[in-house]
Homo-oligomer: A and B are copies of this chain.
Amino acid sequence: MLKPMDAEQLREYGHQMVNFVADYYKTIESFPVLSQVQPGYLRELVPTNPPTHPESLQDVLDGFLGEMLSAGINIVGFSWMSCPAATELEIIVLDWLAKLLNLPDAFLSTGNGGGVIQGTASEGVLVALLAARDKTLKKIGKDSLGKLVVYSSDQTHASVQKACQIAGIYPENFRILKTDSSTEYALSPEVVLNAILKDVASGLIPLLLCATVGSTSSTAIDPLLALGKIAKSNGIWLHVDAAYAGSACICPEYRHYINGVEEADSFSMNAHKWLLTNFDCSPLWIKDRNALIQSLSTYPEYLRNKASEANVVVDYKDWQIPLGRRFRSLKLWMVLRLYGQEGLQSYIRNHIALAKQFEELVIQDSRFEVVTPRRFSLVCFRLLPHSTDENQADKLNRALLDAVNLTGTIFISHTVLSGKYVLRLAVGAPLTEERHVIAAWKVLQEKATALLEGNVAQKPNGHAQLSNGVVEVDGALDNGVTTEQHGHVDDLPIK
């Protein structure tokens, strides 16, 4: 199995990259000051499809090195003309990734759609909402903003609420539909349809539905096929947030979780979360790129150029909130080429296998329960209480979280599902191995034993505030499952 590069590989390739950048500056005066290429030049130079196999195991470079190179060359490629390579590589690499995910052709750049790298999934849902808002208001008049309704579930990421705040959706028109264990915390199509019909009957205008594949709390999966049909028949923009679980869908055995994406208007995932690419890199695909451009375009004199005016190029400034943008496709391109489809699939499968192994350890210990079925690399579990007193159960699990995180050897987080306090163990960092998972379970078992025997050590006084801060830091990880390689924020055992 392919492994992410270790510290010594990183050192070797890092030095190579430094030399590359330094040589570039040394010879900078030999380059023309303005790029001399034609629109589309890059597509002819690279393969149409992403590589299946790692292209060269000797040359495996991580997304981190791509970021370095990007920083070193210091591109600000907001329009095609300002940096053709940055624009064209982004188009190509997002078509590649769309193919790995088997997204419908409507999301590819070859039709009316296309992909763009946003900094975060928050920006992805925001620009999708703005495109939907403006497309609808153009038809019904901008005075109707107060009638627009956005639908989500109580498991939807908070970024959708924030996007609504920014876009001016009235707070009372942001629907947080309830989920429960009967659907494993997925949105019920019936609940969604009823909410829509009720709003329409009240004279409101359903605008956008956000469906999540792999929710923050428990990796719940909203049923895209059924939701897509409802959205379509009611003229609603369907946005799919697969920030975390999208990466798993490059494996054929998990692809069915996004069946129905063909009904969506936009689809977002975070390559920086679980695809070996460092923050920030959040691809968004959209079917109607003109809706996005209509909403976000400005074209002042000082940005005018013939390439843009001929409408033969993509100007990514009109696909995002900021004007300037970094050359983020470079790191994703490096990851896709140098790991290849097989390497990335193997990486995902290994994490899921490790989580499955942890889940089995939990099941074998009758003092614990798995709270909702594990789908990917996150396990939601809790210590069972002595009695049926749920308050006592919550206290017990808070204390367990506190105790294990205080050891400093592992960091787990919590969520609340159906009112219950639930512990979460996520496997998501490149360096996690079986031994870490087993060690984490051992710490959990030991602290559980001590707790159940009423034998937990006092917190050191000097750390009172700190320990409190630490044990409830839950969600320091956006969705709690990350590929970040930093000891302080990883949501997994690393020691």
Alpha-carbon gap, A469 to B35, bound state (A): 10
Q: Please name the 10 residue pairs, one residue from A and one from B, whose CB atoms are nearest each other, closest first.
A: A302-B475, A14-B18, A11-B22, A7-B26, A120-B322, A32-B408, A67-B71, A82-B476, A31-B487, A33-B411
| Known A122-B322, A279-B74, A279-B324; contact A216-B302, beta-carbon cutoff 8 A | yes
Interface residues, chain A, with chain B CB atoms under 8 Å away:
6-8, 10-11, 14-15, 17-19, 21-23, 25-26, 28-38, 64, 67-68, 71-76, 78-79, 81-83, 119-123, 126, 130, 133-134, 142-143, 145-146, 157-159, 161-162, 165-168, 170, 216-217, 272, 278-280, 295-296, 298-307, 321-324, 326, 405, 408-411, 413, 415-416, 431, 463, 465-466, 468-470, 472-480, 482, 484-490, 493-495
Q: Kindly list 11 other residue pairs between chains A and B, CB separation below 8 angstroms, not including A33-B405, A36-B463.
A: A10-B22, A34-B411, A34-B470, A73-B486, A74-B279, A83-B488, A122-B321, A126-B321, A280-B326, A301-B475, A306-B469
Report yes or no: A484 in contact with B76, Cβ–Cβ below 8 A.
yes
Copies of chain A in the complex:
2
Contact B465 A306 (CB under 8 A): yes
Bound-state Cα–Cα, A280 to B34, Å: 21
Q: Are A166 and B167 in contact (CB under 8 A)?
A: yes
| Nearest B residue to A493, CB-CB | B33
A28: which of B324, B413, B431 is its contact (CB, 8 Å)? B431
Q: Give the distance in Å from the alpha carbon of A296 to the alpha carbon of B162 in the complex.
A: 7
Q: Is the CB of B34 within 8 A of A488?
A: yes
Contact of A119 with B14 in the complex, beta carbons under 8 Å: no
Q: Which of B161, B279, B480, B494 contacts A29 (CB 8 A)?
A: B494
| Contact A25-B38, Cβ < 8 Å, known A33-B495, A490-B33 | no
Contact residues in B for A82 (Cβ distance below 8 Å): 473, 476-477, 489
Listed residue (A145, A159, A304, A322) with the most chain B CB atoms within 10 angstroms of its CB: A322
User: By the criterion CB–CB under 8 Å, are A488 and B32 in contact?
Assistant: yes
User: When A33-B488, A474-B301, A475-B300 are in contact, do A18 and B21 touch as well, CB less than 8 Å?
Assistant: no
CA distance A97 to B48 in the complex (A): 47
Q: Can you report 25 A-B residue pairs in the complex whose CB atoms are below 8 A from each other?
A: A6-B25, A10-B22, A18-B18, A32-B487, A32-B488, A33-B405, A33-B408, A33-B410, A34-B405, A36-B463, A74-B485, A78-B478, A122-B322, A122-B323, A126-B321, A158-B299, A166-B296, A168-B168, A301-B415, A301-B475, A302-B415, A304-B472, A304-B475, A306-B468, A323-B478
Q: How far is the CB of A5 from chain B (nearest CB, A)?
A: 9
Instruction: Evaluate contact between A476 and B166: CB separation under 8 angstroms.
Output: no
Q: Are A475 and B28 in contact (CB under 8 A)?
A: no
* A26-B7, A321-B122 known; A161-B298 Cβ under 8 A: yes
Q: Which of B17, B305, B489 contacts A83 (CB 8 A)?
A: B489
Choose among B6, B64, B411 the residue that contacts A74 (Cβ–Cβ < 8 A). B64
Hey, which chain B residues are within 8 Å of A296, CB to CB?
162, 165-166
Q: How far is the CB of A60 from chain B (nearest CB, A)?
A: 15
A280 and B324 within 8 A (CB)? yes
Partner of A486, one of B75, B217, B321, B322: B75
If A83-B489, A476-B81 touch, whether A33 touches B409 (CB-CB below 8 Å) is: yes
Known: A7-B25, A32-B408. A38 touches B466 (CB 8 A): yes
